[in-house]
Structure 1
Amino acid sequence: MYFVSAGAISLFFFIVFYVLSSSENVVDGAIEQAFSMLFLATSLALLLGRGLIPDFLSIVIANGFAFYSLLLSSTSIRKLCKQKTLISTTVQCVLLVLYMSAFAWFHYIYPSFSIRVGLFSIVSLILLGDQFKTLWKYEKTSFARSLVLAALFAFLSIRLTRLVINILSGESSINLISPSPIQTIVLGMPTFLLPIFGVGMVILILDRKQLQLTIGDTFRKDTGIYLAKAGLNQLKLTLKKALVLGTPLNIALFRLSGASDYSSKYGYKRLYELKSLFALKLDKAVDPNEHCFVIELNEENYVVVYSGKNEDEFHEKTKKVCHQLTKEFVEPISVSLTSTILGGDSDDVDSILDRLYRNFDSSLNEKLVLVGAR
């Protein structure tokens, strides 16, 4: 019953992190996906490891999931594959098969637990080092939180390996290889601490992603798009992610021209209805599967952010959206746009918006390329 309860808790946190990884408010769900796989591995070890599947197969599967959780968080692999999801996933699966094969070979040739943990620890240190480097570049102010995140990640991974060995061997004690007192403290912490680690991970990730839990301060209730302050914060996070991963970030500024004249002629209530209609049309015109989001800066200006498009695709998409919106409105309301493609090492959102506004005023559709662009 103890193992079933602990397995159910692990399964619960797997669902929590999986839902977080697919949330629209999360810029990059790799960390959440990684933890979801780690908790799934733990739940498999607890629920299926008591003789329901062969000992050897249980060990390999559980360690495979733990290793895959590290692969999911590796930005170097995704960067090496030029952000192509299919190629990146294929490379991750190949590495997973190679690791599981190596682990199986070590299991038969070297039955010592310390050697098997050593293999996993070496690979984990390489991948955690990659993740640690990314977190340091991503946001230096969260260095301490990133360190705690990486340390807990490593602890859960090693603890998972130890837990599987304990379950399959029928041992209630961790003294399988006469560990030292330090090993006993590090590896022998009781499994009931798992819920505490799970809650801690959720809190850390919510903090790192800067998710807004007060929806009313983040989105317009009638349209569901970002309000200015929350939207610009999201833009800053997206820009940081693009700079770390080396992907282009494309921004289009759509202007609903003549809004003040429309308000004077028909009243503010009619203008508010028109703004809501425009925002809905704009939000519907962009494809959420293309990693887009819309920000309402004020009653006339709306920003659409696209991630990962090249120059030709970006301009073609923005012109298409503008054409769709223009057909919906008549004078004195018209729709116009300007756009920019970003890359490099600047995260000054205010200067980016200033450049977009100047492009409107000078009737230029200017492309902005910062130092260090792709």
Structure 2
Amino acid sequence: VITFLVRPEQAAATLATLGEIGFGTGPSTATVATVRNRRAEVLRFELDSPLREVGVARRALLYGSGDPRTRPPGGTLAVVESAGDAEIDAARRTLFTTGDARVVAVGPIESEGAMALVAQTPPVAPPPTTTDTAMVDPGVAAPTEAALPSPPGGTTSTGPAWTTPDRRMVVRDVTNTWLSVAFPVPAELARVAVLFLADRMQQELDATPPDPGLFNVSVEVVEMPEGEVLVVEAAVLPDASARFERRILDLPMRLAAERDPAFFRYHRGRFRAGRLVAEAPPEQAAERMAAELLARGRILAFDEAVWSLEASMAADAAAALGPPRILVFGPDLAGGRP
């Protein structure tokens, strides 16, 4: 996702520049060299960091060992240092195609103006097919989820990403343990219910006062062609690993029991307020909408959807999560036992 925050009168020139760099002649040789050297410096610094190996292991948990998607998205040091200008340009032309683009304009711009901006993007071979534009006026209720052409990526499956559980342990002599727990999401669940569930899990796992064994935790919904997945990632003290793993695994069933309407309304209001605050900056709203267009072919009308969410829908979503895949990366204090 590429996001610009510009004045309305600068939008056309900015998008034209992006079109030239991404879909036209590309960046200059000097710019490519500068970015390549900068990226190589970062990769050298990260060579001995376990975080890169953790990232590969986390992606393997979702996609399967050996899948091309497990590779570091920013490349390896050897690849970055050896890549020539021609290889980089070929990769750019493969990755950036206007036919797969989704454009979202948030702010004081009419839909006709947004479409005019898109039309300024230089064509490439093969010529673009369609580019979708959504216009959202902050403060005005968005329309119901509008169907758009089939997304080029994201979730396309009608079933769960997997149906059997898995647990992997990567033993390393490091000072903390990284946990990843991924739950497959049934395709029929409402998008807003899944997002609400992720928010509730984040709140429960990152409670106040903080758990003394927890460094950080995040919960997100990941779009995959195989199906939507709810992923919990945590960094914990090694001796707290087993306890926190069990806490994550028990959480869906505990949330499935939350059916009190008043209790639910409180958390729904908190969830809505948090999302509205997070997306108050227009660039954040545009980024979320563009990602949804690319992955799902539609934009969630969040404010409308959240008011339609009921306690039973949220509880049923928690109960419907599929068998988890678990990754434990760190020292083995339990002799391989969960």
TM-score by length of 2: 0.27
TM-score by length of 1: 0.25
Give the structure, 1 or 2, with the largest relative contact order (CA under 8 Å, sep 6 or more).
2
Q: Which has the larger radius of gyration?
A: 1
